[in-house]
């Protein structure tokens, strides 16, 4: 949700954001509708005030004056009803257009259409030097040979883009998640195991509904191809714990001294992957169910503070990858790839030998007060004002996608896989995944 007073003051800035984010919205046409709405509201308030005033006067009237007043009231009531109906139709369009207003990205954001226009800003590790084998296998071949991954039976049970992790595959998956949670807990973050279902208001509040993201969310009770629920109970399966964790303080007023809030939600996540048919269909890159540790931050309405926290949460994710010894790069996400709600966004892409390229494994976002306005989360500032908090989020780790580089980079010539040292305490002290171990 956008501050409409700011839109009215800076329509050209918002129209530029619309164009830069490849959205379709005429901001000035919206503002004309906004002014029409406000005019109708003023008319209604005036008519209601007139109606109340005359209603109090009529009992004291007599004769023709009373008859005329009653006739005037009847006409006024008709005009009021008609204007209220007109306002209802206007507000329906006004709300839909308002939901499409984007946040203005920071000036440092690259202007571009899609992921091809994202800009690398840093990297860590040497992707080629770290490989121990000359002809590396992909993670599917490795997992099947070690009997730790079974995709065919996952498909048999649940359809395409599903899988079973078995034995040391399941243990490695859990080890990565537990290691990440422990790292964040040591830094003072509050760990959440949130609900895996949330209501429409939480998805709306975090910016996933309405819009294209809705098509990727499972509605309980079923849904149409466009993502609309069918005979459901209003709940949807979460695609990220950002939804319930960010909604944790919905409709609350926080104390400034308690900010920032540093939360980390560990949960299963579910995505329909609508519109990706034929894309990344092999293996674990794009699946319907996965687990993720998501950092969520609520802070004061202060850009400098928010950007410092942005660096903090991205660095937390980088430190996990460095501890796992996985080469990666950080990219500034361009305007057309960042979504309407984001003010600043960076992705972390980890090297995946089977793709001979970096693959996205983490996403870091700053959303200003966009989510807080929708979720109605405020705080009482020291100067006596009540402000909306600002929100940030970051994927600290997501599995099984991270298993792709783990298995492929640390495979050995004999078919075994070396377990990164930091994960060994979570694997019973094991150093190698292999048939002989």
From residue 397, give the alpha-carbon distance in Å to each of 222, 277, 391: 29, 25, 19
DSSP 108-160: TSPP-SSGGG-EEEEEES-TTTT---SSPPPHHHHHHHTT-EEHHHHHHHH-T
Three-state SS at 387:
strand
390 backbone dihedrals φ, ψ, rounded to 5°? -105, 150
Neighbours of 282 (CB within 10 A): 11
Q: Is 358 in contact with 328 (CB distance < 8 Å)?
A: yes
CA-based end-to-end distance of the chain: 55
Cis upstream peptide for 210 (omega within 30°): yes
Dihedral class, residue 221 (left if φ above 0, else alpha if ψ from -120 to 50, else beta): left
Q: Which single residue is written with the structure tokens 């040292």?
A: 421
Neighbours of 225 (CB within 10 A): 8
DSSP state of 235: E
Q: Pick the closest to residue 391 from 318, 347, 332, 342 (CA basis).
A: 342
H/E element holding 417? strand 417-418
Distance CA 285, CA 35 (A): 48
Q: Pick the closest to residue 335 from 325, 323, 326, 345 (CA basis).
A: 345
Structure tokens at 83: 């204007």
Residues catalogued as catalytic: 271, 286, 360, 363, 401
Give residues with Cβ within 8 angstroms of 186, minimum separation 6.
none
Neighbours of 216 (CB within 10 A): 17
> CA dihedral defined by 383, 384, 385, 389, rounded to 10 degrees?
80
């Amino acid at each position: 949700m956008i501050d409409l007073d700011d839109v009215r003051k800076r329509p050209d800035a918002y129209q530029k954001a619309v164009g830069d984010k490849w959205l379709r919205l005429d901001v000035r046409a919206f503002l004309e509708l906004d002014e029409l709405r406000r005019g109708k509201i003023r008319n209604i308030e005036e008519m209601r005030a007139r109606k109340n005033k005359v209603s109090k006067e009529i009992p004291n009237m007599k004769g023709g004056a009373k008859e005329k007043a009653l006739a005037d009231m009847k006409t006024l009531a008709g005009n009021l009803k008609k204007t209220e109906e007109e306002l209802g139709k206007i507000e329906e369009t006004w709300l839909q257009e308002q939901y499409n207003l984007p946040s203005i990205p920071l000036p440092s954001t690259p202007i571009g259409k899609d992921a091809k226009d994202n800009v690398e800003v840093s990297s860590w590790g040497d992707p080629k030097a770290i490989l121990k084998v000359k002809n590396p296998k992909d993670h599917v071949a490795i997992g099947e040979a070690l009997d730790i991954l079974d995709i065919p039976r996952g498909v048999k049970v649940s359809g395409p883009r599903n899988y079973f992790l078995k034995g040391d595959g399941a243990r490695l998956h859990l080890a990565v998640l537990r290691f990440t949670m422990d790292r964040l807990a040591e830094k003072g973050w509050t760990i959440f195991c949130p609900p895996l279902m949330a209501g429409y208001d939480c998805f709306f509040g975090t910016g996933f509904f309405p819009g294209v993201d809705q098509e990727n969310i499972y509605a309980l009770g079923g849904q149409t191809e466009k993502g609309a629920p069918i005979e459901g109970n209003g709940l949807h399966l979460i695609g990220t714990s950002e939804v319930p964790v960010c909604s944790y303080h919905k409709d609350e007023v926080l104390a400034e001294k308690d900010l920032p809030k540093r939360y980390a939600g560990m949960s299963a996540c579910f995505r329909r992957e609508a519109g990706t048919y034929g894309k990344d269909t092999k293996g674990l890159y794009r699946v319907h169910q996965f687990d993720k540790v998501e950092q969520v931050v609520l802070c004061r309405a202060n850009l400098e503070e928010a950007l410092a926290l942005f660096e903090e949460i991205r660095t937390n994710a980088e430190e996990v990858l460095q501890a796992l010894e996985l080469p990666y790069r950080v990219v500034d996400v361009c305007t057309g790839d960042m979504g309407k709600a984001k003010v600043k966004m960076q992705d972390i892409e980890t090297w995946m030998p089977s793709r001979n390229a970096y693959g996205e494994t983490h996403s870091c976002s700053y959303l200003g007060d966009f989510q807080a306005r929708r979720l109605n989360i405020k705080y009482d500032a020291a100067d006596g004002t009540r402000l909306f908090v600002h929100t940030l989020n970051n994927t600290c780790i997501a599995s099984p996608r991270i298993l792709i580089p783990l298995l492929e980079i640390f495979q050995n010539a004999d078919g075994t896989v070396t377990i990164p040292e930091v994960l060994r305490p979570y694997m019973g002290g094991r150093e190698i995944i292999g048939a002989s171990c």
